[in-house]
Structure 1
């Protein structure tokens, strides 16, 4: 695990915690769909739920409303995000600072493990999915959303048109995720596209800063002022808006595991 990068991610999201909700339109939609999928998969018989990357609590509050009797453990890499999610007494549960890629649990603990738009920050997505699925009780499900490769396609294209490399991470595509899930007996993945009205390059930069998504891929350096101006002009020449591709995955543990 790259501890230095994880700390930078935690710091960036912590700095954005107070304004995150004002910029998080796609994040709200993805969280709502994760909760819907989870309720269809396991509407009853849920005693214990783990949430990975709770942020300010979009999914957390939905979990509480749908399974009010379940024991909830909500986790995030950022203590400041956890403080926002737990503020106001709207959610009853345990709030734990934790790297979801390295869960602080062992054995078959949870009936549901849910996460929305956090897995893209993992160093090893396949390994994390395997570790988290190992925490499921028989019949339990891991359901998550994560960023897909087509996210911010126009932003990437504007960089490429100027001979530059975008700092946006290289996300997996749907087939990559399906390949990761192929080793499980009961799993599926699909994707959705969410438009993002930016109103220009400054609007997209404000969106990314507003949600704390400002830690670039390893080795990517900030653009010079001249290159930044060229790239912003190229982005606005494409229309000045962009979008998210969100990948959704579900893994369910068999009630009768193979020997």
Structure 2
């Protein structure tokens, strides 16, 4: 399935005001990736790029960790700059707006970092190949995405969802492109919600409903709620939504 990048841009832009308070899993993932980077890459980074910065969850960590680096910060949505300015002040930050799959990537980078963005790419293997060409020898590609159990309840109930790679498939793609795998982390996180309607509101509020163009009718919503409760109710009467983060730190050989 090809991602409608204009729909993606529109949906995520609409969530920016509330994203920081509601995207709790994405924020946790950024902290975990920063911790991984800090343990393995404690030295100086001269020039680096972040892909898919959004409102700056990962950007804040990276700027604190490498305050003297030259950062090229990318997102599909130009309005990201409004949310990044308070953190970028006093640092060397260059903005590169647009689809990272189509933009020419800068060269001679010590690091490319990305959090919860590459799952939207139409051709992740091609981007992995392009990224290795932009890195210096020994440079790092640090990213997070989601695995095949991500939003499994939504896929089972609606038949819709993104294509996700397994951790093993990601490592194979990276190895074939000329990276060495330094470290990976994979886990599942189950968020509880009072009702299936709350699950839908959460998905809409964090932008991750961006593959569905049409709105549901009343009967479709009722059918969704019935099926979701039937299959994914928790012992306390609430319902669950599964996140399946995968964190990867790879190094160009």
- The TM-score range, normalised by the shorter chain, is 0.7 to 0.9
- Which residue of structure 1 aligns with residue 129 of structure 2? 130
The match for 2:180 among 186, 191, 197 is 186
Decide which moves more: 60-69 or 191-200.
191-200
Would the aligned equivalents of 1:48 and 1:71 in 2 still touch at CA under 8 Å?
yes
Taking structure 1 as reference, are residues 73 and 106 closer, same or farther at Cα in structure 2, changes over 3 Å only?
closer
Q: Supply the distance in 2 between the matched residues of 1:90 and 1:206 (Cα, whole angstroms).
A: 34
User: Gaps (5+ residues) in structure 1?
Assistant: 255-259
Equivalent pairs counted in the alignment come to 244
Q: Supply the distance in 2 between the matched residues of 1:88 and 1:153 (Cα, whole angstroms).
A: 35
> What pairs with 1:156-235 in structure 2 (closer than 5 Å)?
156-157=155-156, 159=157, 164-166=158-160, 168-183=161-176, 184-187=178-181, 189-216=184-211, 222-235=215-228
- Give the superposition deviation at 1:189: 3.9
Taking structure 1 as reference, are residues 57 and 249 closer, same or farther at Cα in structure 2, changes over 3 Å only?
same
Q: What are the superposed Cα offsets for residues 134-159 of structure 1, whole Å, 9 maximum, x if unpaired?
A: 111111100100121101112223x1
Would the aligned equivalents of 2:26 and 2:116 in 1 still touch at CA under 8 Å?
yes
Taking structure 1 as reference, are residues 213 and 82 closer, same or farther at Cα in structure 2, changes over 3 Å only?
farther
> What pairs with 1:5-24 in structure 2 (closer than 5 Å)?
5-24=4-23
Would the aligned equivalents of 2:140 and 2:249 in 1 still touch at CA under 8 Å?
yes
Q: Supply the distance in 1 between the matched residues of 2:189 and 2:81 (Cα, whole angstroms).
A: 26
Decide which moves more: 71-80 or 170-179.
170-179
Would the aligned equivalents of 1:111 and 1:137 in 2 still touch at CA under 8 Å?
yes
- Give the superposition deviation at 1:88: 6.5
SS at match of 1:79: coil
- Which residue of structure 1 aligns with residue 45 of structure 2? 46
Would the aligned equivalents of 1:73 and 1:96 in 2 still touch at CA under 8 Å?
yes
Q: What are the superposed Cα offsets for residues 23-65 of structure 1, whole Å, 9 maximum, x if unpaired?
A: 1111011111121222222211211110000111111010111
Q: Supply the distance in 1 between the matched residues of 2:84 and 2:190 (Cα, whole angstroms).
A: 26
Would the aligned equivalents of 1:34 and 1:114 in 2 still touch at CA under 8 Å?
no
- Which residue of structure 1 aligns with residue 95 of structure 2? 95
Q: Supply the distance in 2 between the matched residues of 1:17 and 1:52 (Cα, whole angstroms).
A: 17
Q: What are the superposed Cα offsets for residues 169-227 of structure 1, whole Å, 9 maximum, x if unpaired?
A: 1322223222212313412544121222222212211111111122216xx85544313
SS at match of 2:143: strand
Please give the TM-score of this superposition, normalised by the length of structure 1: 0.86
